[in-house]
A and B are shown apart, each in its own frame.
Chain A
Amino acid sequence: MNNILSYLKNKHLIWQGKAINEPDSGSLSGYPELDAGLEGGLPTQGVIDIHSDIGIGELRLFLPYILQRQARQQRLLVIIAPPLQINGEMLAELGIDLNQVLVIRPGDQQQALWAAEQCLKSDCCHTVLSWLQNLEIHQVKRLQLAAKQSHAVQVIFRQQQTQGLSLPVTLSMSLQPQAQGLRIKVNKRIGSWRHQDIQLNMQALWPALQLPEQHNNDNNIIPFPKQRAS
């Protein structure tokens, strides 16, 4: 083979059509548009790489999916290195059993990766959510291998990056906020070609978080009770 071609192949910058793995049929994400865009839904195992800002709905995207996995498998949901404190009340309200939720706050990225790999390998976690930056290919490969071994899913949340490196993940998506929900760009999905961006409407599932057409909530503000002088 041509030297340049093999070089590019080793760098994972190109891949060959014949080496396609059948994409896994996926499990429903809870959002019909996303299921359609991903031809079946989110993967049932492997590493999902999410490029997103904090607070635009990146977790709401996964919550129906996590709930579904939690209900089906009596395994742990592990949250590693969250950028802010996790509010357990919200998880409990959704119906997630807090006994099955583990929050790990490692000191550095090395520990975070170690913990994620152990959790995936242990076969007793269904989903691991980690917030990581600057990943190396070999690190992701290890996570991918561990996740596939035990049919677990590793979701990695990262800030928007213009990194050219193509990581060996099962699915990579970039999220942009939108009035109705999210605009999802699928950067990579094993076994499929690039599709159009997915317009996701999250209002049906999260009625509390929607932008009204007309913004008028001035009339329902009640003055605070007078504080007694003490």
Chain B
Amino acid sequence: MKKLWLYLHFPRLQMDCQFLAEQHRPVIILEAKDNSTRQLNELASKAGIKPGMGLGTACALCHDLHVEPYNSDLESNKIKQLCDSLYQLTSDICLFPPDGILLRIHNMLRFYDGLDNYWQAISGTLDKNNIRYHYATGATPFAAKILAQSQWDQVCEDRQQMHQQVLAQPLDASELPTRVVDNLKRVGIRLIGDLAAMPLSEIARRFDIQLVTYMGRLLGELHHSISFYHPEKRFNRRLELLYEIDNTQILLPPIQLLLQALEDFLLIRDQVTEELLLNLHQREQASLTVTVNSAEGEYRAKVWQTLMQLKLESVQLQSPVYALSLETGNTHLKTPRADDLFSGKKTALSQTQLIAMLQAKLGQELVQQISLHNDFRPEQVNRYQNAGKALSPLPKLQANRPFFLLSEPQKLNEKVRLLQGPERIVSGWWDDHAITRDYFIAHSAQGRWYWVFRTAEQRWFLHGVFA
């Protein structure tokens, strides 16, 4: 089967991501390194600004020009994101940084029953992103690229037509260095076709090996090795905010976008996660990490949104946030909840979900379970631990223990009537909390039932209340 490639070129990626193109003023995106205009909107190009122009020239042409610095991280993030969504439709994807994606499509056509269906699927996904793109098919990666960059915007399987189209492209559109192109122009070679008409061996004698390789790859005479894209194993996505936000409630809609992306990511992989790390990148402050846990693994955006909302209520921002990033903790395969079909109605939430929700709002340490330890000392028996963890097995239990314990025994300063006892507890000689006590059940004049003890020094303390 002959190879067929599809190249997608995104000419204004950063502008589209930041919604700058829709603004009613001329905007350019300037690469500070070489002081050249990389992207511009319609108003800017109407004013006469061209890509590659310096800042001085651009400003001279247009007095109310808005200039944005070029952000390569943003673009590469967005490209990766596009790759992730395209990966659901097509198998072989290759990144052409900073603004292109190459797809190997001939092996997918049978699956989609033709190029039209395939292109429909691909373009449908691309259109959802509201990003301007140009596209073209080609017999080689470079051919597809040169056609897409020249805004051919066609997909076809007719190799002859594609070949003619490539030959008609000017040399400026190629990836050859300007010096080489200038040299070729001087000898009257202006189009790719002119160059292709000459035998490769002739070119190799007169020009350097770079030109030969390029032409060979462009025309399919030399092999072009491509390394394909593999999607990330873990979800980690960053979202630049359009403006700075200093209120956590206003942060929720952008977080919702990230959570939706997370849901799509996990759903496709049939995975769930128990932990989300949300990084709030703050202007002038270290970034703030918010950890949200759910004891039951979860992937649904709706559930995470509720937990996130509860968690954010207690988060204080020190300075405005300009970007968010979301990553997952450990992920693992989803195991379905074992609900009994015949046990009546299903509960609205599972117990673990309830615990996760309470912990998100109140904080982990306020939602607790009681674990008992094997000890005779009443202070040591109860260990409060954060809910959701396994409890230690039950020790041997003592009878007649009160419902409430005072966290610290208090001096008994009330007249009580001793009713039952003593129960002598002498224990703990092996650590620093040795006790020698006689415990009694006592009844106070107000009708309260106390658990009191006497120490060896005949001092009386109140330790518990039978409620």
Given A88-B381, A105-B368, A178-B362 contact (CB < 8 Å): no
- In angstroms, Cα B403 to Cα A60, docked, is 9
> In the complex, which residues 305-342 of chain B have their Cβ closer than 8 Å to any Cβ of chain A?
none
- Cβ contact within 8 Å between B382 and A85: yes
- A-contacting residues of B (Cβ < 8 Å)? 347-351, 353-355, 357-358, 361-362, 366-372, 378, 381-382, 384, 387, 391, 394, 397-407, 417-422, 424, 426, 436, 438, 441, 443-444, 446-450, 456, 464-467
- Cβ contact within 8 Å between B401 and A93: yes
Question: Does A121 sit at the interface, judged by CB under 8 A?
Answer: yes
- In angstroms, Cα B447 to Cα A75, docked, is 33
What are some 8 contacts across the A-B interface (CB < 8 A)? A56-B449, A89-B401, A98-B370, A102-B367, A102-B368, A124-B347, A208-B441, A227-B436
Q: Using a Cβ–Cβ cut-off of 8 Å, how many residues does chain A contribute to the interface with B? A: 58
Option from B369, B403, B422 in Cβ contact (under 8 Å) with A87: B403
> Chain B residues with Cβ under 8 A from A92's Cβ?
372, 394, 397
Q: Mark A208-221, 1 if CB is under 8 A from B, else 0.
A: 11111001010011
Q: Mark A23-60, 1 if CB is under 8 A from B, else 0.
A: 00000000000000000000000000000011111111
- Cβ contact within 8 Å between A102 and B387: yes
Given A91-B370, A106-B366, A209-B441 contact (CB < 8 Å): yes
- Cβ contact within 8 Å between A86 and B466: no
Given A209-B441, A217-B419, A103-B403 contact (CB < 8 Å): no
What's the least CB distance linking A122 to chain B, in Å? 4
> Chain A residues with Cβ under 8 A from B370's Cβ?
86, 88, 91, 98, 101, 103
- In angstroms, Cα B349 to Cα A139, docked, is 22
- Cβ contact within 8 Å between B447 and A178: yes
- In angstroms, Cα B370 to Cα A54, docked, is 21
- Cβ contact within 8 Å between A209 and B354: no
Q: Mark A188-230, 1 if CB is under 8 A from B, else 0.
A: 0000000000000000000011111001010011101101000
> Chain B residues with Cβ under 8 A from A221's Cβ?
422, 438
Given A54-B465, A85-B404, A85-B406, A103-B368 contact (CB < 8 Å): yes
- Cβ contact within 8 Å between A55 and B466: yes
- In angstroms, Cα B419 to Cα A217, docked, is 7
- Cβ contact within 8 Å between A84 and B394: no
- In angstroms, Cα B355 to Cα A76, docked, is 11
What's the least CB distance linking A207 to chain B, in Å? 9
> Chain B residues with Cβ under 8 A from A99's Cβ?
369, 391
Question: Does A64 sit at the interface, judged by CB under 8 A?
Answer: no
* Residue of chain A at shortest CB distance from B458: A224
- Cβ contact within 8 Å between A98 and B354: no
- Cβ contact within 8 Å between B367 and A104: yes
Option from A101, A123, A211 in Cβ contact (under 8 Å) with B349: A123
- Cβ contact within 8 Å between B361 and A87: no
- Cβ contact within 8 Å between A115 and B358: yes
- Cβ contact within 8 Å between B448 and A177: yes
- Cβ contact within 8 Å between A57 and B467: yes
Given A55-B467, A106-B362, A208-B420, A124-B350 contact (CB < 8 Å): yes
> Chain A residues with Cβ under 8 A from B406's Cβ?
84-85
- In angstroms, Cα B426 to Cα A61, docked, is 33
- Cβ contact within 8 Å between A55 and B404: yes
Question: Does A113 sit at the interface, judged by CB under 8 A?
Answer: no
Question: Does A118 sit at the interface, judged by CB under 8 A?
Answer: yes
